[in-house]
Structure 1
Amino acid sequence: MSNFIPVNEPLLDGNEKKYLCECIDTGWISSEGPFVQRLEKEFAARVGRRFGIAVANGSVALDAAVAALDLGPGDEVILPTFTIISCAAAIVRAGATPVLVDSESDTWNMDLSQVEQKITSRTRAVMAVHIFGLPVDMDALLAITQPRGIKVIEDAAQMHGQTCRDQPCGSFGDMSTFSFYPNKHITTGEGGIIVTDDEGLAERCRSLRNLCFKPEKRFVHEELGWNFRMSNLQAAVGCAQLERLDTFITRKRQMGCRYDELLVGVPGIQKPLVRTAWAENIYWVYGLVLDDGVPYDAEEAIRRLAAQGIGCRPFFWPMHEQPVFRRMGLFTGESYPVAERLARRGFYLPSGLALTETQIRRVADVTRGVLVS
């Protein structure tokens, strides 16, 4: 379908091509190239952190963060059930135990009241995951964790440029991670970054991403790491994208407001919150949740929209309902009704930075037609 509107299309019309040509002209294409360190330094500064460690993607950023904190067997890590599987997978692969909490029905973020209820003597960390456009109230979370000495990993994969009570997302807790996947506000194609203020954790992450080579004797290894390195080519794109982050954030908020205007009066949907007491929505994606009175689910809505040339994507499927974890005997008998409803009745509309005003109007018109008919 020639006029199909994809769920995401990145915007790559800044200095991306110029910086990529510089990599090719100089021969610096590997992880040893100068753009990697530039991206680490500039991105860390942007989110108010001392150190940045660029990695191959946002999922391995979580793996490295969990490993750097020495989380393992006997340790419990609290996280939302409504998230991408990368979060729980990092915990499970480390041998630690994921402990789940449900979501808030309005922000779609983790329910902090349940976090306090789930803390035990074995709780070592909380993984706070910011969802879709609004952040977790990090001040409230840290008020729970800090007095107890519980570590915090802030998964800010979707929150480039967002703030929480005027502090940058990515500046909270012991470590924060971001993704640079093509649907993020900053993309490197594939890629991610870990940021922290702790020099020891930063050095540990640098070692883990680079096979734990020893500086003094490169091919003698005391422990196993991974090749999680980012290439200079990827970092070059990231540097160009970072230069335009403020413009991208303004654009995303304009898109969110435009969808709000065009979908006024459409029955049967919950739209994203515009703001909370601690943040204004950044609209990483524009999500909709179907009311219970709508006689079909998100999967059917997505099918109907696709038939008319509109690409959409479902919300996350909860961790406690993942077949892979059930086969491991995890989360047996557990139920989280808000997350279950979001998974079945939530989806998001095309939200990429390259989306035009004409496309937004068409998406809204088709969505209105599908939901009203």
Structure 2
Amino acid sequence: MTKSIPIYQPFLKGNERKYVLDCMDSNWISSKGKYVREFEESIEDFVGNISATSCSNGTVALHLALLALEIGPGDEVIVPSFTYIASVNAIKYVGATPVFVDSESDSWNASSNTIKNKITPSTKAIMCVHIYGNPCDLDPIFKLAKKNNIKVIEDCAEALGSKYKNEHVGVKSDISTFSFFGNKTITTGEGGMVFSKNSDLIEKVAHLKNQSVSQEIAYWHDLVGYNYRLTNIASAIGLAQMEKVEEILESKRNIASLYNFYLENLGLSFQEILSESVSSYWLNVVKTPSKSALNRIKGNLTQAGVEVRPAFPLVSKMPPYREMASHEFPLANEISETALCLPSYPGLRESDIQFISELITISINEE
């Protein structure tokens, strides 16, 4: 049997069309218009105890966060090697040096144990990435950062809805970011958000993203700024998405539970989530016993019309960064080479999960 099951597709079941048409009818289609601030406020309300400002994508959100912390040439930023490349590229944009660390074998995240030996007098910040929505163990990292007087940035691109000890991830760090790309938990097509409990930092980000234009003198710019604004149309989609965010997250939790049920006792493993944490389950990613098992599973699923994708390759292996990596990262490398991302969109049906799981079971038993 052949189906067509994508790895992800957005959940556009609310007021997206209505709000976008309202933008068009009002002629407010660019970066001015009521939906920009309403979307930002919806994020502030959802996360709690933060200020937020939107931007054009998740990568520039990280760039703005680093700029706001005044990180630049001569500074080092600790970052996991097992992450999407945007986390690392943003560090290079400001002229700082990324310092790669390994991942934990259970959570697949960086931790205080993988970070502590990489701190030097040049370390300015630690970038925590909640990989696939699974929260890092933050308190030991915060303790390490405080001891060494360094900043913490949280890359929450995949972690909208993730919680650590009853608080949304990103709240306790110096500054944090979201991504709203088309395959994220909620989407604006392309979009991002920078947020922090420090409202002065967010005001600084808002100034930088808007070409650093003066609020008093027309067309006067007091800093080198950036055109990183989010449009009113994108924000309208985002606001409609946020009206459905709890429904989306509940669906994704149910999908994760079903995958765990149908794939148990096969020698596969999922990320371990701390008992005091809640994952957004942005993607359900399964670690296979070997590369050969991964290739069989991937081949059978692809042939049956099920879209899958590999786990992130290590950024430290990529041409722009391989000379910066002082050594190998064996735990992260094993995850990267044997894990597979499965369909995880909110509208995925249980019958589709059963179909996918049966093919995986057959693939495992072929060995």
Q: What is the aligned partner in structure 2 of residue 283 from structure 1?
A: 281
Distance 1:266 1:298 in 2: 13
1:331-346 correspondence runs (5 A): 331=325, 333-346=326-339
What TM-score comes out, normalization by structure 1 length? 0.94
In the TM superposition, what is the alpha-carbon distance from 1:65 to its structure 2 partner?
A: 0.6
Deviation of 1:297 after TM superposition, in Å, equals 5.9
* SS of 1:324 mapped into structure 2: coil
Q: Do the aligned partners of residues 218 and 330 (structure 1) sit closer, same or farther apart at CA in structure 2, a change above 3 Å counting?
A: farther
- Whether the aligned pair in 1 keeps the contact of 2:286 and 2:340 (CA below 8 Å) is yes
Q: In 2, Cα distance between the equivalents of 1:300 and 1:23?
A: 48
For 1:137 and 1:341, the matched residues in 2 are separated by: 21
Match of 2:351 among 318, 341, 358: 358
1:57 aligns with 2:57: yes
Q: Deviations over 1:186-226 (max 9, x none)?
A: 11111110001222211211122112222233433333222
Unaligned 5+ runs, structure 2: none
Kindly tell me: are residues 40 and 280 of structure 1, through their superposed partners in 2, closer, same or farther at Cα, counting changes over 3 Å? Answer: closer
How big is the shift at 1:344? 0.8
Which deviates the most, 41-50 or 282-291? 41-50
- Residues 23 and 232, structure 1, Cα contact 8 Å, conserved in 2: yes
Give the match's secondary structure for 1:270.
coil
| Alignment gaps of 5+ in structure 1 | none
Structure 1 counterpart of 2:176, one-letter code: S
Bigger drift between 110-119 and 215-224 goes to 215-224
Secondary structure at 2:152 match in 1:
strand
Equivalent residues in 2 for 1:136-285 (5 A)?
A: 136-267=136-267, 269-273=268-272, 275-285=273-283
Q: CA deviation at 1:371?
A: 2.2
| Pairwise CA distance, 1:238 | 0.8
Provide the residue aligned with 1:324 in structure 2.
320
User: Against the structure 1 CA distance between its residues 23 and 141, is the aligned structure 2 distance closer, same or farther, given a 3 Å change threshold?
Assistant: same
* Shift of residue 298, structure 1, vs aligned partner: 3.7
Provide the C-alpha distance between the structure 2 equivalents of 1:108 and 1:144, rounded to a whole number of angstroms: 19
> Are 1:56 and 1:190, in contact at CA under 8 Å, matched by a contact in 2?
yes
Q: Counterparts of 2:181 and 2:137 in 1: how far apart (Å)?
A: 24
User: Where does residue 71 of structure 2 map in the other structure?
Assistant: 71
* Cα distance between partner residues in 2 of 1:280 and 1:203: 30
SS in 1 for 2:83: coil
Letter in 2 for 1:365: E
Structure 2: which amino acid aligns with 1:306? T
How big is the shift at 1:315? Answer: 0.9
Cα distance in 1, alignment partners of residues 104 and 337 from structure 2 = 15
- Residue 309 of structure 2 is aligned to residue 313 of structure 1: yes
CA contact (8 A) 2:158 2:179 kept: yes
Shift of 1:59: 0.8
Structure-2-length-normalised TM-score: 0.95
Alpha carbons 2:75, 2:97 under 8 Å: kept: yes
Bigger shift: 196-205 or 72-81? 196-205
Code of the residue aligned with 2:341 in structure 1: it is Y
CA deviation map 1:144-168 (0-9, x unaligned): 1123321111111111111101011
Give 2:359's aligned amino acid. V
- The residue number in structure 2 matching 1:131 is 131
Q: Which moved more, 1:168-177 or 1:44-53?
A: 44-53
* Matches of 2:121 and 2:293, distance apart in 1: 40
The equivalent of 1:33 in structure 2 is 33
Give yes or no for contact 1:49–1:195 (8 Å, CA) kept in 2. no
